[in-house]
Amino acid sequence: MCAQRRIYSLKGYPEETVSASFAKTSRSPEPFDKIISEMDMEATKKFHETWVIKFGHGSVAEHASAHIAAENVSRLSIECIEGNRLAAYTEKSTRYQKLDREHVHYPKELNGTKYESLYKETIEYLFSSYESLLQVLIEYYKSQNPRKPEEPEKRYEANIKLMALDSARFLLPNATLANVGITMNARTLQRALVKMLSSPLSEVREIGAEMGKAAQEALPTLGGMPQPSAYIANAHNILQDSERRKNSQFKKKVELVSYEKDALEKIIAAFSYRHSGISFDDAYAHASKMSASEKKAFISKSLEGLSKEPPLREFEHAYYTFDLVMDQGAFCEFKRHRMLTLSPQEPTTHLGYTIPEDVKKAGAEKLFVDAMEKSAHAFAEIEKEFPFVAGYISTNAHNRRCLATMNLRELNHFIRLRSTPWAHFTIREVAKGMLTEIQKVHPDLTFWIEAKS
């Protein structure tokens, strides 16, 4: 008689006990609910000490997750927090909430130095400019979008404010505090803490230590406190060489710097390989002999019936590398796409800044430019001795350069999502620019990807 299929949830047990019971199935013939019913926290602790900590079976820790709330942490520190691929984050938005000068990080590195007062003055100036710009934009948007008789006044005021916030937030510095909800499995969390504890910024190191304590409370048998990495810390030290930190002007905001010229053949060969018994060499040779029209027809066939779901994973075999320049606000959205390899340069004011068109139309360009000049002056002074700390004073408007490598499947997702009207209006330029670049080099492979206007 065939064993009966069972699909069920292990409810009401600690995350760590669940992870241990899942791991035990490799050597135990018993069902999961029986395994877990025989385990208590002492048995769980002993199991993890032996197999996860002593023998390094880290995959076991992936079954246990911690949910950590980080409040009043700088947007600069959030870059390190969110720099982990296998995790989930939800962050306080500058698009939907008004920020204030009471929620700003003042780095300990500057305490008692000649830069301390300059930093505080610049923060005050930026927030005063932000508040002034917000009021100017509210009046401008009201003049351009009169309330319709049938529209409730409360909803109208809220919509106008949202429009104003979306442009005014360009003046907010990276020192602005935010809240972020974090969900990580225990294995990813340990790696994240190592990176944070190895940061050149004292704030990030402190957050790492506090997150470590929170992890120990949530996962006492898996949340051991890791140590800083000399390897990671040394990489940061290399960056402190001022010659390495000089920024060159950029030629264009989206530049495709590397791609696989035979990507079309590779993807066709991958499909053939998967659905046949031949070797990849044979599949590739067959794809190479196909005419251009046959190749395009093959790709079209592989996409038949595609709707909202992503295309098949064979499209991940093609990679593209971009040198990108975008404002910090757009970068904050870009970095959330974790199915990419991202190498960002440090925040700077040396690459110029983006002025929203509506700021110009509202007659507030001088107010905006004055704030940018104030930020740039403070940045140039502080970076002489504190190159990483200077990043706190650059703003959402300042341009940021990063190197990004993405496979074609992820590119499709990114372009479709970030070209929509409700995406950040400067990241839409990046998404459309990336589409233009890949369609130039691979028109018969990327013809199906569309920007959402």
DSSP assignments along 238-272, one per residue: HHT-GGGGPPPPPS-SEEEEEE-TTHHHHHHHHHH
Which of these, 172, 33, 149, 35, lies nearest to 93 by C-alpha position?
Answer: 172
**Is the confidence at residue 23, as pLDDT, over 90?**
no
Q: What confidence tier does 307 reach under pLDDT thresholds 50, 70, 90? A: confident
Q: Pick the range with the lowest mean pLDDT from 5-9, 153-157, 201-205.
A: 5-9
Distances (CA, A) of 53 to 26, 35, 47, 137, 184: 18, 21, 9, 56, 18
The predicted pLDDT at position 225 comes to 77
Q: Pick the range with the lowest mean pLDDT from 17-26, 171-180, 277-286, 408-417.
A: 17-26
User: Could you report the per-residue pLDDT of 88-123, keeping only the tens digit for each?
Assistant: 999 988 888 898 889 999 999 999 999 999 999 999
Distances (CA, A) of 193 to 90, 202, 206, 231, 341: 18, 14, 10, 14, 20
The predicted pLDDT at position 242 comes to 46
User: Could you report the per-residue pLDDT of 364-414, keeping only the tens digit for each?
Assistant: 999 999 999 999 999 999 999 999 999 999 999 999 999 999 999 999 999
pTM, two decimal places: 0.90
The predicted pLDDT at position 86 comes to 87
Q: Output the six-digit token pair for 154.
A: 């409360």
Query: Mean pLDDT across the stretch 198-203?
Result: 97
For the chain, the average pLDDT equals: 92
User: Could you report the per-residue pLDDT of 428-445, keeping only the tens digit for each?
Assistant: 999 999 999 999 999 999
252 or 293: whose pLDDT is higher?
293
Q: What confidence tier does 236 reach under pLDDT thresholds 50, 70, 90? A: confident
Strands 177-185 and 87-91 turn out to be antiparallel
The predicted pLDDT at position 22 comes to 86
**Is the confidence at residue 272, as pLDDT, over 90?**
yes
| Sheet of strand 254-259, all strands in order from the earlier edge strand to the far edge | 254-259, 319-327, 399-407, 341-344
